């Protein structure tokens, strides 16, 4: 209406998922793939970003944790993190809140930092000539020998084998792993060993290598290895004992084993 002043326009907030996807894929060497078993955007084989919370939030890898702190100070309504990402240089972005121009600037700067990191095509593992198992360090001490996996379940309740199959299946869902038997335990390995199991008389001692202590009704004991992390042992008696939280712990252990971490689901 004539004579009335028009309200000044403010920067529009909100980036639809299709637009966010197109922007991510616009940058060189960014592709869609899987990271830690989940659909993600990869940059030179590294985790770069993924959608979560029913595609309302984008997890974005940054250059440093300080970068995240700066963004949260700039717009705490848009940028945040959860406990899982506290020690990782990653930020969570509410897509409905972020101004489009700011979103583009943040993704561009994140791409610049991550693109400068070494490619994920890391050097090959050393293979022991006697037992055939692979390790990150040549001639690393290990219980050298070949043992059939079925040997661990001889004379044990069949439910324990079913439980281990479920345990190994959630590890394989995270990404490429190797499962093999040693004399007293079963090992699950990515680049390094991150999970495993010892078959007891009536239960499965299922272990994970984690960077932090965790709480769960199935925790049987926790070994503290200082700066190297924690060996967490879970007492499992059936496949039903492996709930969503144990799946999340497995993903976190796998993330550490392959040298990433930010892509895990939390």
Assigned domain for 266 exists: no
pLDDT at 36: 67
Tokens of 259: 């040298």
Q: What is the per-residue pLDDT across 46-89, written as a single tens digit (0 to 9) for each? A: 789 999 999 999 999 998 888 999 999 999 999 999 988 888 88
pLDDT level of residue 4 (50, 70, 90 thresholds): very low
* Alpha carbon distance 197, 162 (integer Å): 13
Q: What is the per-residue pLDDT across 219-257, written as a single tens digit (0 to 9) for each? A: 999 999 887 789 999 999 999 999 999 999 998 888 878
- For residues 201 and 242, membership in a common domain is answered with yes
Strands 57-61 and 79-80, bridge-based pairing: unpaired
Q: Which of 70-74, 129-133, 140-144 is predicted least confidently?
A: 140-144
Assigned domain for 263 exists: no
Q: What is the per-residue pLDDT across 197-215, written as a single tens digit (0 to 9) for each? A: 999 999 999 999 998 899 9
DSSP string, 178-214: EEEE-SS-EEEESSSEEEEEEE-SSSEEEEEEESS--
- Residue finishing a domain among 47, 82, 115: 115
Angle at 168 between CA 180 and CA 219, to 5 degrees: 110
The pLDDT of residue 260 is above 90: no
Whole domain around residue 211: which residue ranges?
Answer: 126-257
- For residues 88 and 195, membership in a common domain is answered with no
- For residues 150 and 182, membership in a common domain is answered with yes
Across the chain, what does the average pLDDT equal? 84
Number of domains observed in the structure of the chain: 2
pLDDT at 119: 55
- For residues 133 and 250, membership in a common domain is answered with yes
Assigned domain for 262 exists: no
- For residues 75 and 96, membership in a common domain is answered with yes
pLDDT level of residue 121 (50, 70, 90 thresholds): very low
Q: Which of 119-123, 142-146, 226-230 is predicted least confidently?
A: 119-123
The pLDDT of residue 141 is above 50: no
* Segment 174-192 mean pLDDT: 85
pLDDT at 9: 52
Q: What is the per-residue pLDDT across 28-52, written as a single tens digit (0 to 9) for each? A: 888 888 776 678 898 877 789 999 9
What is the CATH number for 52? 3.90.1150.30
pLDDT at 145: 64
- For residues 143 and 203, membership in a common domain is answered with yes
Long-range contacts of 168-176 (CB under 8 A, 24+ apart): 170/242, 170/246, 170/247, 170/250, 171/195, 171/250, 171/254, 173/37, 174/36, 174/37, 174/250, 174/251, 174/254, 174/255, 175/34, 175/35, 175/36, 175/37, 175/254, 175/258
Comparing 111 with 6, the larger pLDDT belongs to: 111
């Amino acid at each position: 209406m004539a004579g009335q002043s028009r309200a000044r326009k403010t920067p529009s907030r909100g980036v639809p998922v299709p637009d966010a996807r197109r922007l991510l894929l616009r940058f060189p060497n960014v592709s869609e793939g899987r990271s830690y078993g989940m659909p993600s955007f990869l940059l030179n084989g590294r985790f770069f970003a993924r959608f979560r919370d029913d595609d309302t939030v984008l997890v974005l890898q940054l250059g440093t944790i300080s970068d995240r702190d700066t963004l949260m100070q700039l717009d705490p309504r848009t940028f945040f993190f959860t406990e899982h990402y506290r020690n990782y240089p990653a930020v969570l972005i509410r897509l409905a809140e972020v101004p489009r121009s700011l979103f583009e600037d943040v993704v561009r700067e994140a791409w610049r930092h991550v693109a400068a990191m070494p490619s994920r095509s890391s050097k090959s593992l050393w293979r022991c000539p006697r037992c055939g198992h692979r390790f990150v360090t040549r001639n690393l001490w290990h219980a050298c020998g070949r043992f059939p996996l079925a040997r661990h379940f001889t004379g044990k309740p069949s439910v324990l084998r079913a439980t281990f199959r479920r345990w190994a299946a959630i590890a394989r869902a995270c990404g490429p792993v190797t499962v093999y038997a040693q004399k007293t335990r079963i090992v699950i390995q990515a680049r390094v060993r991150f999970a495993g199991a010892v078959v007891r008389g009536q239960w499965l001692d299922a272990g994970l290598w984690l960077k932090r202590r965790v709480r769960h009704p199935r925790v049987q004991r926790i070994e503290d290895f200082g700066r190297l992390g924690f060996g967490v042992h879970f007492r499992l008696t059936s496949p039903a004992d492996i709930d969503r939280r144990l799946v999340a712990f497995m993903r976190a252990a796998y993330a550490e084993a392959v040298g990433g971490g930010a892509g895990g689901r939390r």
